[in-house]
């Protein structure tokens, strides 16, 4: 896994690098807390794929995201998504992704509690 020269994005998928994901997540969580909006965290684990298939999956995931949602490639086949919305919204996104990607997806979703950092949510999801 390599990142662009600026270290913000993954070279292959265009998803955020983990370090920038954490930084952006803190801003999103702060905004959500001030505006009383729920935030969900999703861990997506894909089966081992070749680079072309992995790129296609990442593009499908990105297409489903809304402005403000964050996607990071945390490891070779694992992505983290931070979404504005509750756990039901996260489950709906997973349903749509399973129908569009066409590859097996293992996932876990959790609601990030007010005042809780994204690291705590990632720990619960074992990322």
pLDDT digits over 86-124, tens only? 888 888 999 998 888 887 888 888 888 767 777 777 777
pLDDT value of position 50: 92
Question: CA angle at residue 71 from 67 to 74, to 5 degrees?
Answer: 170
pLDDT value of position 2: 56
Task: Check pLDDT > 70 for residue 1.
Answer: no
Show the tokens assigned to 4. Answer: 């662009």
Give the CA distances from residue 13 to residues 10, 38, 76, in Å, rounded to whole numbers and listed in that order.
6, 27, 10
Q: What's this model's pTM, rounded to 2 decimal places?
A: 0.85
Burial state string for 41-51 with b = 16 or more CB within 10 A and e = fewer than 16: bbbbbbeeeee
pLDDT confidence tier of residue 5, bands split at 50, 70 and 90: low
Burial of 63 (0-12, 13-18, 19+ CB in 10 A): exposed
Alpha helices in 79-124 (DSSP H): 87-101, 118-124
pLDDT value of position 102: 81
Position with higher pLDDT, 6 vs 108: 108
pLDDT value of position 11: 87
Burial of 122 (0-12, 13-18, 19+ CB in 10 A): buried
Show the tokens assigned to 60. Answer: 């499908």
Show the tokens assigned to 3. Answer: 């990142």
What homologous superfamily is domain 18-124 in, according to CATH?
A: Reverse transcriptase/Diguanylate cyclase domain (3.30.70.270)
pLDDT (tens digit per residue) in 44-89: 999 899 999 999 999 999 999 988 899 999 999 999 999 988 888 8
Task: Check pLDDT > 90 for residue 40.
Answer: yes
pLDDT value of position 73: 94
């Amino acid at each position: 896994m390599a990142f662009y020269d600026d270290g913000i994005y993954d070279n292959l998928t265009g998803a955020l690098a983990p370090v920038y994901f954490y930084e952006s997540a803190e801003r999103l969580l702060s905004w959500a807390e001030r505006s009383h909006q729920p935030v969900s965290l999703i861990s997506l684990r894909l089966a081992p794929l070749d680079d072309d298939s992995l790129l296609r999956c990442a593009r499908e995931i990105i297409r489903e995201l809304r402005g403000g949602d964050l996607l990071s490639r945390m490891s070779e086949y694992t992505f983290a998504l931070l979404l504005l919305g509750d756990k039901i919204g996260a489950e709906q996104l997973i349903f749509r992704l399973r129908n569009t990607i066409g590859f097996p997806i293992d996932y876990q979703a959790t609601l990030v509690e007010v005042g809780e950092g994204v690291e705590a949510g990632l720990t619960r999801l074992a990322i």
